[in-house]
A and B are shown apart, each in its own frame.
Chain A
Amino acid sequence: MLLIRTDHDSATHYLFEACHEVIEEAKRKGFQPLCIESKEITLTTIQKRVKKSHPRFFFFNGHGSDSSVFDNKGKELIARKDADVFSETIAFTRSCSCLQKLGEEAVNQGCRSFIGYRRSFYISHLDSYATRPLKDPAAKPVLETSNLVALSLIRGKTVGESIEASKRKSAEYIRDLSYSNDPYLSATLPALINNVAALGFCGDEGASLNVSK
């Protein structure tokens, strides 16, 4: 498993912290997650690690566009011309809009299945929790439901099942938040709905990581 997590602004810091849960679950399930962070996040490093370790699961966390994902400086990291880096993996990019073009090209170049978002990925959060993202009640539903895609894959679910698990959990949160009087959570609802509507995949819906259950 290859996990790339950028951390250079509020959004990426929230995603960086949210990955802890995924890393711990991966270890429990017998994966040896290779984390690429900080200055190591370069295309050359990623290509070398992919060539050496042949990951089954490629999990990217950071900013993106419809045709690329970005590094810690906001510069293009993996573009469509580099999409062979996803070959033979199930990829999940927790980034804006990548599913549209990068995902399609990744599958064309051998990615088994590419999970991502069709438009901007929103995170609602409270400014008082900037240094404690995992305690932020406004961010929790967004982070938990998107984490569930990665967690479900690690637990042996197929791509289709993993996306469905995330959408089901999102629907539960949406139902509960709709009846909540908490004004802070009124920002969470549209973010959650946006993200669940944007979540999708290209490639093989039945692909899985073949984890012993």
Chain B
Amino acid sequence: MTTYGEDIKNLVKERLRAIPANVRFSVGSYGEFTREQLIQEIDLNTPIGKDIIEMQVNFIREMPKIIAKASN
């Protein structure tokens, strides 16, 4: 898994803070997390934290391509 710098981590944390408090993410066998828990995982550099960063970065990368495909 790629290592991301603080700028990316802060971006991902801000994106997570925009999610309503009653939303949960089930992350494979890692379990179920609130946005606060995911932010903690990022701060602690855990495998879940890295996974959620990867997920959000993929989201930012893939969005334009998927929107373009869906609009055709």
Contact = CB atoms under 8 A, between A and B. Distances in A.
Contacts of A170: 66
A206 interface: no
A122 B25 contact: yes
B29 A65 contact: yes
A189 B29 contact: no
A119 B29 CA distance: 12
A35 interface: no
A101 B23 CA distance: 32
Given A64-B29, A65-B29, A96-B29, A194 B24 contact: no
Interface string B15-47: 100111011111111111000000000000000
B4 interface: no
Nearest to B12: A190
A74 B29 CA distance: 8
B26 A14 contact: yes
A182 B20 CA distance: 10
A123 B26 CA distance: 5
A14 B69 CA distance: 29
A48 interface: no
Interface residues of B, number: 28
B58 A10 contact: no
Interface stretch (A49-57, A104-112, A144-152, A171-179): A171-179
Interface string A88-108: 000000011100000000000
A124 B19 CA distance: 11
Contacts of A96: 28-29
A208 to B, nearest CB: 24
Given A174-B67, A178-B63, A193-B59, A127 B51 contact: no
Interface string B39-72: 0000000000001001110110011001101110
Given A172-B70, A174-B67, A193-B58, A187 B26 contact: no
A194 B59 contact: yes
Contacts of A172: 70
Contact of B66 (A9, A10, A14, A171): A171
Contacts of B23: 124-127, 138, 184, 187
Given A119-B51, A186-B18, 18 more contacts: A10-B32, A63-B28, A120-B30, A122-B25, A123-B26, A124-B26, A125-B24, A128-B22, A171-B66, A174-B67, A175-B71, A190-B15, A190-B55, A193-B59, A194-B55, A194-B58, A196-B66, A197-B62
Interface of B: 15, 18-20, 22-32, 51, 54-56, 58-59, 62-63, 66-67, 69-71
